[in-house]
Amino acid sequence: MTQSNRETQPLQDVALVVGGGPGISSSCARLFAENGMRVCVAARNPDKAALETLEKTHDVRRYACDASEPAAVAQLFGNVVRDVGTPRLVVHNIDGRVPGIFRKGVIEADPVLALETLRNSAFSAFLVGQQAARLMLGNEPDANGARGTIIFTNASAALKGFPSSGAFAMACQAKSGLAQSMARELMPQGIHVANVPIDAAIGWTQEDGTRAHRLAGTTVDDNMADPVHIAKTYLQLHQQHRSTWAFEVVLRPWVEKW
């Protein structure tokens, strides 16, 4: 991984995206870097092709982290602070479902997989949010009086529990409760907390230029959420004036039925 010479660089905001893939995480990393931030991305597998490309094209630092493990999350934040500085923007972007829990009714769902889904999603959000808040409270307020921004990516299940999706509904609504509690606690202390349920399939750009989702197919007439524009929403949340901080922003395509 590349090592930046901090002595020769102007002071910049540090952004950390936890959860790494070619969709929302990559779009956020690119946009944040293009807006002058020093960007770090953490994933269980930091050697994914999309993340390697980000390192080459946008000087994004890659870190290995199992975000469901308290010690691993604490080490991640310690490494980021050591390497580039204390984050002012942290995005938790982890779905958390394990393959064996998909489309399982409440009777047939494996309790072990349900618990693993909760650990991967809501518990990892707690761990990341806890470490981010602990560090951000030590940041000097910026011109807007803000010490930092914590954003949680969420899903449709945060708003409605679908049939045969009990474990994921638990996880998403737990994440919403966590975010709301953190917002009420931390916003008066200068930390903006936002929960962003995305009520749609997310179609990320493929090598041939089309946008597609692995289950929903190819995007037609903007019928899927575009991660490029999700990232723009996240950046706008980070830049909002504190007199109008948004807590919950639900994103869905114009044709989504809800």
Model pLDDT, residue 258: 87
Residue appearing with tokens 């994914």: 48
Residue 126 and residue 213: Cα distance in Å, rounded?
Answer: 28
Q: What is the pTM of this model?
A: 0.91
DSSP string, 215-247: TTEE--TT-SB-HHHHHHHHHHHHH--GGG--S
Model pLDDT, residue 215: 62
Model pLDDT, residue 212: 62
Share the mean pLDDT of the chain. 91
On the question of pLDDT at 250 being above 80, the answer is: yes
Model pLDDT, residue 149: 98
Q: Identify the CATH number of the domain defined by range 14-239.
A: 3.40.50.720
Residue 221 and residue 36: Cα distance in Å, rounded?
Answer: 32
Taking the domains of the chain in order of start, what are their residue ranges? 14-239
Q: What confidence category does residue 96 fall into, taking pLDDT thresholds of 50, 70 and 90? A: confident
Residue 130 and residue 125: Cα distance in Å, rounded?
Answer: 8
Partners of 86 in beta bridges: none
Residue 109 and residue 120: Cα distance in Å, rounded?
Answer: 16
97 close to 77: Cβ distance less than 8 angstroms: no
Model pLDDT, residue 97: 84
Mean pLDDT of 228-235: 97
**Torsion sign across C-alpha atoms 35, 36, 42, 46:** positive
Mean pLDDT of 64-68: 98
Model pLDDT, residue 218: 79
94 close to 146: Cβ distance less than 8 angstroms: no
Model pLDDT, residue 223: 81
DSSP 44: S
Beta carbons within 8 Å of 73's beta carbon, 6+ residues apart: 65, 67, 124, 127, 128, 131
Mean pLDDT of 173-182: 98
Q: What confidence category does residue 85 fall into, taking pLDDT thresholds of 50, 70 and 90? A: very high
Residue 257 and residue 182: Cα distance in Å, rounded?
Answer: 30
On the question of pLDDT at 2 being above 60, the answer is: no
DSSP 122: I
Residue 240 and residue 221: Cα distance in Å, rounded?
Answer: 30
DSSP string, 166-190: HHHHHHHHHHHHHHHHHHHHHGGGT
On the question of pLDDT at 214 being above 70, the answer is: no
Mean pLDDT of 163-187: 96
On the question of pLDDT at 49 being above 70, the answer is: yes
pLDDT in tens, 97-120: 888 888 899 999 999 999 999 999
